[in-house]
C-alpha cells in the first residue's frame, strides 16, 4: 500500500503549521515519510507537547514536604505516612465526549485509572467535573445522558467508587462540553514505578489489549477547534472495555511484584508513539520498535495506523530480560497480550520497522523533550467593582427558591445515583455532601477528595478566579476535617493563539500559583486542554482544581449533620459581595462586575481555626456560590430539618465573600467556640438555629418540604 505524498493540505490536516514543518525538514534534512509526519503530528500537538503552556506551567509550585513525585510522570504522588502514599491526577476527555458522549467519557475514565495503576497504585476513588451547555440547547440533554452513562458504565464495571465532582450548565459550553476525570490510588512508598526507560538493549514489551483502528489521530483532534465538520471526527474517538482494564490492572500490579518491571507507561494520547517516545526521552535512550510483533485485531493495518491508534487498555514497559518467562506467565494467566515489540538503544533515535522496512527513523529528543515551545502574546484582563451597584429588591426566601429551581444549584443526585460509590466498602462520605471521604483500608486514616472551579469568576477576572478555585477546594477539605495536602489541575481554555484567551490562561495560572504557595497546596499533576471552542466561540475559562486532604484519625472527621436546636455560627466576615454571584446569574444573567476578592491570609487563619475546633462542632460547610442562604439550606437538607436565620438584606444572605464557613453546634459548645474565636482574632457569631419544619430567612419563610422537593427535582425535571 503506497503512502500519500506530503502536501501542504496533508501537513495542515495534521495540525502542523508552516514553521513547524520547516523545523521538521531542518531536523531530518529530508522530507518525512507519511508515518513520520503522523508521529510528529502526534507528539507536537498541544495535547501531548504542551507547547503553548510549558512556560507558564513551570511557574506553579510543585514541591512540598509530603511530595514524592510532582508533574512529569503519569500521576503525582504524596506521602501520607506509615509507608503509604496517595497517587492522583485529573485529565480531560473533552473533545471525544462531545463527539461520542458514552465512549468519550468512558475512555476518559479508563485513561485516568491507567495513569494511577501504572505507578503501582491500586485506585480507591474517582471524581469528575462536568460542564455542559444550556439545557435548552438541542445537544445538551443527549450529551449529559451519554457522558454520565459512560462514566458510570466504565467506573462501575471496573470497580472504583465515584465519590464526588461537579456539574454545571452554561451557554459557553454549547459547542464544547468539558469532561474532566479524576482518579486516586494507594501505593507503598517503596513500591512506586516510573516511566523512564533504563538500560541499553532492554526489551520493550507491549501489554494488554490488541491494537485496532479506533482513536487514530485522537490527540491531534483534541488539539483543534470544532467546526461544522465535527461528525467527521467520530472515528478518532476510542472504544473502551472496563473488564479488560480491570484484568490489565490486576496483571500489571501482579507483574510489578515479580521484579520484572524496569519502567512502565500507559498508552493514552497518541498511543504507541507517545508511550515509547516519553519512556525513551525520560531515560535519555533511543527506542527501536518492530510493528510486526504488535498484537492487532484488524487486518492490513499500516505503520501509520498502528503508531497513532489510541486503542484502550494497553501498556508499554521495559522488561528485565532475566524475568521474561515469569512476566509472560502473569499476562497469560489474565488472558492478555504480552509481546516483545522492541528494545532500548543508546542512540538518540526512534526507529520503527514493519515488514522488514524502516517506516520511521527520527531523533527521539526532538519529538518530546525538545518539541516546539511558544511564548504566545497575551492580554491581561482585570475587573473593577461596579460603582452605584444596587442589589435587587427581592423577598429572600423567594430568591432562594429561584436558585433551587436552577439545575446549577439544585441537587445533582440524578447524576451521582448512577455511580457506584460504595464499591470497595471504604467510602465514608457519599457524593452530594461536599468533599468525598475514603478510608485508608485497614488503618484509622482517611483521605478526602474534592474538585472546584467557578468559571464565572475566571471569566470576569482570571487572576482572582484562579485564586478562588484553589481556595474553595482548600475550604472543601477543611470542612470535613481534612488537612489539605496537594492538588492536581485540569486547565480548560479556548484557543491560545488568541491573546485574550492566552491572557485568561496566564492569569489563572498566576492566581492558582499564588494561592497554592500561600496555602501550601502544591500542584503535583495535571492536564492542559486548549482549543475548547466551536466556530470561534470559546468556553468560559475553566481551570478545575482537584485537591486531596488527609484525615489522620477517623474520629476527626466532621461528619454532621446538624441536630435539632443546634445553633448556626458564621466564621468569617459578614459579607455582601453580590457581583458575579449565583443569584445575579439566575435572576438577571448579569455578567458585569468583579468577583469576590480572595484574602489568602484569612483563608489560612479561618481554615486552621476550623481544624483546631473539630471537637466542638457537629457539622461544617464552607461558603461559596449562593452565600449564607444556600449554604445553610444545604446543611438543613443534610439534617432533614428546618433552619431559621436572622433578618438581614439580600447581599448579606446571598453575598459570596470568601474565606467563610458555617458550622453547627450545641448552645454550650457555641460559647466555647466564640471564646476561642475571640482569643485567636477570628470573626465568629451566631446567626441562626436548626429545627422545625420551615426554612426562614428573617421574617420570610417557606415549608422545608416544599423547598426540599424543588431542590431534589430541579435537575431531573430540566432533563426531561
What are the grid coordinates assigned to 514, written together?
Answer: 499564588
Residue 188 has pLDDT above 60, yes or no: yes
Kindly indicate the confidence band of residue 115, based on its pLDDT and cuts at 50, 70 and 90.
very high
pLDDT for position 236: 56
Residue 409 has pLDDT above 50, yes or no: yes
pLDDT for position 47: 83
Q: CA-to-CA distance for 49 and 220, rounded, in angstroms?
A: 11
pTM: 0.95
Contact 609, 677 (CB under 8 A): yes
E strand intervals along 588-637: 619-622
pLDDT for position 158: 96
Q: Which of 199-208, 307-316, 542-551, 669-678 is the least confident region?
A: 307-316
* Secondary structure (3-state) at 286: strand
Q: CA-to-CA distance for 121 and 186, rounded, in angstroms?
A: 5
Residue 230 has pLDDT above 70, yes or no: no
pLDDT for position 216: 80
Active-site residue, 452 included? no
Q: Which of 138-152, 235-249, 327-341, 373-387 is the least confident region?
A: 235-249
Residue 1 has pLDDT above 60, yes or no: no
What is the chain's length? 720
Question: Read out DSSP for 29-98?
Answer: TSPPPHHHHHHHHHHHSHHHH-TTTHHHHTTS----TTEEE-BTBSSEEEEEETTEEEEEEEEE-HHHHH
Residue 208 has pLDDT above 50, yes or no: yes
Residue 219 has pLDDT above 60, yes or no: no
User: What average pLDDT score do residues 650-665 get?
Assistant: 97
Interior/surface letters 665-695, b for 16+ CB within 10 angstroms, e for the rest: bbeebbeebbeebeeeebbbebbbbbbeebb
Q: CA-to-CA distance for 226 and 376, rounded, in angstroms?
A: 21
Give burial (CB, 10 Å; 0-12/13-18/19+) of 5.
Answer: exposed
Q: CA-to-CA distance for 275 and 129, rounded, in angstroms?
A: 26
Given the residues 93, 95, 452, 577, select the one marked as catalytic.
Answer: 93
pLDDT for position 234: 47
Residue 243 has pLDDT above 80, yes or no: yes
Q: CA-to-CA distance for 175 and 532, rounded, in angstroms?
A: 9
92-105, pLDDT tens digit by residue?
Answer: 999 999 999 999 99
Greater confidence (488 vs 387) lies with: 488
pLDDT for position 235: 59
User: What average pLDDT score do residues 36-43 get?
Assistant: 94
> What pairs with residue 288 in β-bridges?
343, 351
What is the percent of the chain where pLDDT is above 70?
97
Given the residues 47, 95, 452, 577, select the one marked as catalytic.
Answer: 47
Kindly indicate the confidence band of residue 598, based on its pLDDT and cuts at 50, 70 and 90.
very high
Q: Which helix (H) or strand (E) holds 132?
A: strand 122-132
What are the grid coordinates assigned to 535, written together?
Answer: 466556530
Active-site residue, 93 included? yes
User: What average pLDDT score do residues 227-256 get?
Assistant: 78
Amino acid at each position: 500500500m503506497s503512502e500519500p505524498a506530503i502536501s501542504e493540505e496533508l501537513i495542515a490536516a495534521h495540525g502542523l503549521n508552516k514553521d513547524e514543518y520547516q523545523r521538521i525538514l531542518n531536523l531530518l534534512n529530508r522530507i518525512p515519510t507519511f508515518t513520520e509526519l503522523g508521529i510528529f503530528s502526534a507528539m507536537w500537538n498541544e495535547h501531548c507537547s504542551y507547547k503553548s503552556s510549558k512556560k507558564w506551567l513551570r511557574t506553579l509550585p510543585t514541591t512540598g514536604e509530603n511530595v514524592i513525585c510532582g508533574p512529569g510522570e503519569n500521576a503525582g504522588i504524596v506521602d501520607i505516612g506509615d509507608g503509604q502514599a496517595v497517587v492522583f491526577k485529573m485529565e480531560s476527555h473533552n473533545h471525544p465526549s462531545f463527539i461520542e458522549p458514552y465512549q468519550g467519557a468512558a475512555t476518559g475514565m479508563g485513561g485516568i485509572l491507567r495513569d494511577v495503576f501504572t505507578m503501582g497504585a491500586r485506585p480507591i476513588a474517582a471524581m469528575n467535573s462536568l460542564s455542559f451547555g444550556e439545557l435548552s440547547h438541542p445537544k445538551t440533554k443527549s450529551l449529559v445522558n451519554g457522558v454520565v452513562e459512560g462514566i458510570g458504565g466504565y467506573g462501575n464495571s471496573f470497580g472504583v467508587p465515584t465519590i464526588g465532582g461537579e456539574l454545571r450548565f452554561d451557554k459557553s459550553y454549547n459547542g464544547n462540553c468539558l469532561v474532566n476525570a479524576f482518579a486516586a490510588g494507594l501505593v507503598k512508598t517503596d513500591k512506586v514505578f516510573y516511566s523512564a526507560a533504563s538500560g541499553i538493549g532492554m526489551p520493550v514489551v507491549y501489554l494488554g489489549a490488541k491494537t485496532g483502528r479506533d482513536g487514530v489521530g485522537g490527540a491531534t483532534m483534541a488539539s483543534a477547534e470544532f467546526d461544522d465538520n465535527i461528525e467527521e471526527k467520530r472515528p478518532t474517538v476510542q472504544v473502551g472495555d472496563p473488564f479488560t482494564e480491570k484484568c490489565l490492572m490486576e496483571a500489571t500490579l501482579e507483574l510489578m511484584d515479580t521484579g520484572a518491571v524496569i519502567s512502565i507507561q500507559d498508552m493514552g494520547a497518541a498511543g504507541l508513539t507517545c508511550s515509547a517516545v516519553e519512556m525513551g526521552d525520560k531515560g535519555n535512550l533511543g527506542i527501536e520498535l518492530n510493528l510486526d510483533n504488535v498484537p492487532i485485531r484488524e487486518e492490513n493495518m499500516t505503520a501509520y495506523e498502528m503508531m497513532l491508534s489510541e486503542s484502550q487498555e494497553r501498556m508499554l514497559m521495559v522488561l528485565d530480560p532475566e524475568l521474561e518467562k515469569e512476566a509472560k506467565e502473569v499476562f497469560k494467566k489474565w488472558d492478555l497480550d504480552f509481546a516483545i515489540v522492541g528494545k532500548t538503544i543508546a542512540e538518540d533515535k526512534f526507529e520503527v520497522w514493519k515488514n522488514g522496512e524502516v517506516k520511521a527513523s527520527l531523533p527521539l529528543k526532538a519529538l518530546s523533550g525538545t518539541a516546539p515551545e511558544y511564548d504566545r502574546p497575551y492580554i491581561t484582563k482585570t475587573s473593577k467593582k461596579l460603582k452605584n451597584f444596587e442589589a435587587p429588591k427581592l423577598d429572600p426566601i423567594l430568591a432562594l427558591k429561584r436558585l433551587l429551581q436552577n439545575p446549577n444549584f439544585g441537587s445533582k443526585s440524578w447524576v451521582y445515583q448512577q455511580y457506584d460509590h460504595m464499591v470497595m466498602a471504604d467510602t465514608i462520605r457519599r457524593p452530594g455532601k461536599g468533599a468525598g471521604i475514603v478510608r485508608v483500608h485497614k488503618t484509622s486514616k482517611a483521605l478526602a477528595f474534592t474538585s472546584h472551579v467557578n468559571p464565572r469568576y475566571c471569566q470576569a477576572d482570571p487572576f482572582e478566579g484562579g485564586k478562588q478555585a484553589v481556595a474553595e477546594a482548600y475550604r472543601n477539605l477543611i470542612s470535613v476535617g481534612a488537612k489539605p495536602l496537594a492538588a492536581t489541575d485540569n486547565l480548560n481554555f479556548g484557543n491560545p493563539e488568541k491573546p485574550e484567551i492566552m491572557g485568561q490562561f496566564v492569569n489563572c495560572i498566576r492566581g492558582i500559583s499564588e494561592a497554592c504557595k500561600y496555602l501550601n497546596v502544591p500542584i503535583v499533576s495535571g492536564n492542559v486542554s486548549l482549543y475548547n471552542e466551536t466556530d470561534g466561540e470559546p468556553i468560559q475559562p475553566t481551570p478545575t482544581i482537584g485537591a486531596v486532604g488527609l484525615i489522620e484519625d477517623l474520629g476527626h472527621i466532621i461528619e454532621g449533620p446538624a441536630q435539632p436546636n443546634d445553633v448556626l455560627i458564621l466564621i468569617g466576615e459578614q459579607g455582601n459581595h453580590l457581583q458575579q454571584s449565583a443569584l445575579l446569574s439566575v435572576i438577571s444573567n448579569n455578567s458585569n462586575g468583579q468577583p469576590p476578592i480572595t484574602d489568602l491570609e484569612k483563608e489560612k487563619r479561618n481554615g486552621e481555626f476550623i481544624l483546631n475546633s473539630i471537637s466542638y462542632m457537629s457539622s461544617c460547610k464552607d461558603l461559596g456560590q449562593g452565600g449564607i442562604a444556600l449554604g445553610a439550606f444545604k446543611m438543613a437538607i443534610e439534617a432533614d430539618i428546618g433552619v431559621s436565620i436572622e433578618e438581614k438584606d439580600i447581599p448579606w444572605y446571598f453575598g459570596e465573600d470568601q474565606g467563610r464557613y458555617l458550622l453547627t453546634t450545641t448552645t454550650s459548645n457555641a460559647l466555647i467556640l466564640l471564646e476561642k474565636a475571640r482569643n485567636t482574632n477570628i470573626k465568629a457569631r451566631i446567626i441562626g438555629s436548626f429545627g422545625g419544619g420551615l426554612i426562614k430567612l428573617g421574617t420570610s419563610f417557606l415549608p422545608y418540604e416544599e423547598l426540599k422537593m424543588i431542590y431534589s427535582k430541579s435537575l431531573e425535571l430540566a432533563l426531561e
